[in-house]
Amino acid sequence: MQSKLTPLVTFTFLVTLCIPTMSYKVEPLPDSYAGLGEGPHWDVARQSLYYVDLEAGSLLRYDYKQNKTYRTQIEGETLAGFVLPVEGNAQEFAVGCGRRVVIVNWDGISPVAKVVRTLFEVQPDFEANRLNDAKTDPRGRLFAGTMRYIGDEFTHRHGELYRWEAGGNVTLVKSDVGISNGLAWDEKAKKFYYIDTTDYEVKSYDYNFDTGVASNPKVIYNLRKTSPKDHLLPDGMTIDTEGNIYVATFNGATIYKVNPSTGKVLLEINLPTKQITSVAFGGPNLDILYVTTAAKFDQPTPAGTTYKVTGLNAKGYPGVSLKI
Ligand SMILES: *[C@@H]1O[C@H](CO)[C@@H](O)[C@H](O)[C@H]1NC(C)=O
Ligand SMILES: *[C@@H]1O[C@H](CO)[C@@H](O)[C@H](O)[C@H]1NC(C)=O
């Protein structure tokens, strides 16, 4: 029995060894600094990565072909939680400014961009709240969540997650949220994945792509450590075409590639800075993982740099424009 089993065991061991030693490459994007980089979104039409500098009220665009980053300030705004291109209008973007989702007009080059109208507002009476991460589902519906931003979001769970779709009203998806963060969908598995950073975990929901309704939450990945001070803070998230999720950790200098069916970590992607805020696949072949970071609480250089990770041997989905 023992000798017959040996080859199999050896094979498994080799495979296990191969994965962590996989050679990926991490490189900075030029002029990509954001004090609080967030919300990376790959736009196929423009072959550009859009993201925000959240606490500066700024939008950024990394143009792949030009290898150049453009930055704009939204006139009169101090916060920009996310940036999502609007379908059918090359200069319009949905942006989370405070508790409002506004439409911003930007040509992708000018240093100043303007708000043209407000799409909707959430929690008007919660002045200590703001919109945080948001994404469109594969059908172009907007999912956006909130958090307190005066430093007590771990104890005051006043955040909520909303769904909005063209011609419809704002629907509450989830209340009792600390920091609404990473979002990802898998059409093949019929799943929606969601991160509330203050729960230190990733949840999966069954997702109805016809109605946009998420149900049956389950914890699929737990980032708690033995000692609470060591708990990892999951932030933004994306998914590859094989259904594996990529979880950025705000205090971990690491992106975890996880199989959501088993909760197993398949790969740890290490970055040269600590506060990893979010991830998105992009590039002409959708095989480059773009990574935003932050430089909060006096993090040293290169904190705040946006990176590309190549050589992952994985592909993702392009960002979906918002249908309005
Ligand atoms: C992009 O520009 C940076 C800074 O000039 C340079 O270091 C890098 O090699 C360029 N990348 C590509 C793909 O051209
Ligand atoms: C949307 O909100 C408006 C105004 O509050 C209300 O009149 C309408 O019935 C709502 N529609 C749906 C589908 O809930």
Tens of pLDDT along 187-199? 999 999 999 999 9
Q: 26 alpha carbon to ligand 1 midpoint, in Å?
A: 13
Instruction: Please check the confidence at residue 315 and state whether its pLDDT lies above 70.
Output: yes
- CA–CA separation, 307 and 318 (whole Å): 17
Torsion-angle region of residue 280: left (phi > 0), alpha (psi -120 to 50) or beta? beta
CA distances from 176 to 86, 171, 235 (A): 29, 15, 17
Confirm or deny that 268 is annotated as ligand binding.
no
Instruction: Tell me the one-letter amino acid at 127.
Output: E
Q: What percent of the chain has pLDDT over 90?
A: 92
Give me the CATH code for the 11-310 domain, please: 2.120.10.30
Establish whether residue 65 lines the binding site of ligand 1, counting it when its CB lies within 6 angstroms of any ligand atom: no
How far apart (Å, rounded) are the C-alpha atoms in residues 139 and 43?
15
Question: Using a 6 Å cutoff on CB, does residue 311 contact ligand 1?
Answer: no
Of the candidate ranges 1-15, 32-46, 131-145, 244-258, the one whose mean pLDDT is the lowest = 1-15
Q: Is the CB of 284 under 6 A from ligand 1?
A: no
Does 235 participate in catalysis according to the annotation? yes
pLDDT of residue 233: 98
Question: Ligand 1: which of 31, 67, 306, 310 to mutate, most ligand atoms within 8 Å of CB?
Answer: 67
Map out the domains of the chain as residue ranges: 11-310
What are the b/e assignments for 214-235, b being 16+ CB within 10 Å?
beeeeebbebeeeeeeebbbbb
Q: Which pLDDT value is given to residue 21?
A: 54
Query: What pLDDT sits at residue 51?
Result: 99
**What Rg do the C-alpha atoms of the chain give, in angstroms?**
19
For the segment 167-193, the average pLDDT, to the nearest whole number, is 96
Nearest to 29 by CA among 55, 58, 64: 64
Give the side-chain half-sphere CA count within 13 A for 226: 0
Among 19-28, 54-63, 85-94, which is the least confidently predicted range? 19-28
| Ligand number with the minimum distance to the CA of 171 | 2
Average pLDDT over residues 127-142: 98
Q: Considering only CA atoms, which residue is closest to atom 5 of ligand 1?
A: 30
